Amino acid sequence: SSEVLEAIENVIQGVVQSLAQKKAPVLTVANRTDWRNIEFKDSVGLQMIPGCTSKQIRSDCPQSAGRFALMLKILSMIYKMVQSNTYATKRDIYYSDTQLFGSQSVVDQIINDISCMLKIPRRSLHVLATTKGFVAGNLSFTEEDGTKVNCTCSATVFTVPSNVQGIKNLTSHAKFILIVEKDATFQRLLDDDFFSKVSPCIMITGRGIPDLNTRLLVRKLWDSFQIPIFTLMDADPHGVEIMCVYKYGSVSMSFEAHHLTVPSVKWLGLLPSDLERLNICKDALIPFTKQDENKLASIQKRPYIACQPLWKKELEIMAASKLKAEIQVLTSLSSDYLSRVYLPNKLQFGGWL
């Protein structure tokens, strides 16, 4: 915490010095969303290059003066929280003055900018993200406040903790971790008692694009147990994008890649090649939209696809067919095909990439 306080004090000192010299104070923030500032490393995923380009948030420029003020406001809130050892969610910060902030996304972006500017992970700033992910299966742990969580005893779903860094005493006999893209598929596998039938496993869903806590938990489980991690996604560009976020990280959070990415993640399904192999009826597939085509083309150009020839091949199959499929398409074969046939066969015979 002293490191965080010192970092904030240095920023404020810079502002005060500028004012003393009759200069307009400026905050310098790295360009987080520019691909030119990102490098790809096999062992880490997408990370920021050391000498990346930055943007200036000036106090004397009408376009950025408001943002400059909001950054100082949130810095002061973070400073107080770290001093008093209290925490707030991004939502709490927004609702502390909705008129001032204008929207939740403004708060989210400023917090990420501050984290990147101070080079301090967001959790250390005492700002918690609202969690939307779920976890179930063969896992128990103790939360920071001493609450014991045991996912093993039942088919109950537990919300991913809002302070993943604080959890301890993780125990599990799981043989693998299964990341499921969608809540509906996750619930279906729970109803089918999948995680105890095949072999003990841990199931996680970020319910779409994963939030920070879900990604942190996947990384913590990998660090703790070093067991295989598989992903179960829709066979569409959006599903591939989500899988890449778990494995290689996202551009906007690349400054935190070392804490978030899990490059050992494997693509278990639904593979575009599975659709032909399983003779899925063409009528059950969904034609691409223009947006799908653009998204797929953008993914195919990314640096990490070049080092994954088998993934590249699957994306080419998808691009050629211009058809996509949700995991639910497997119910056209039988209602419990996913948990009874598809996943057990894949896990037994190594059907992942």
Known catalytic residue at 304:
no
CB 24 within 8 A of CB 68: no
Amino acid at the residue 270:
L
In the set 95, 248, 337, 342, the catalytic residue is: 95
CB atoms within 10 A of CB 51: 7
Q: DSSP letter at 341?
A: I
Q: Which residue has the tokens 């890449």?
A: 244
Phi and psi at 257, nearest 5°, equal: -50, -40
Q: Is the sign of the CA dihedral 43, 249, 236, 332 positive or negative?
A: positive
DSSP secondary structure, 217-247, as one string: HHHHHHHHH---EEEE--BSHHHHHHHHHHH
CB 246 within 8 A of CB 220: no
Amino acid at the residue 281:
C
C-alpha count within 13 angstroms, C-beta hemisphere, residue 82: 21
Please return the burial class of 122, using the count of CB atoms within 10 Å of its CB with bins 0-12, 13-18 and 19+.
buried
CB atoms within 10 A of CB 232: 25
167/123 Cα distance (integer angstroms): 13
317/311 Cα distance (integer angstroms): 10
Token readout for 339 is 């948990």
- Please state, in angstroms and as integers, the Cα–Cα distance from residue 271 to each residue in 86, 180, 213, 278, 318, following that order: 45, 14, 27, 11, 9
Please return the burial class of 317, using the count of CB atoms within 10 Å of its CB with bins 0-12, 13-18 and 19+.
middle
Q: Which residue has the tokens 């619930």?
A: 187
Token readout for 322 is 């211009």
Catalytic residues: 95
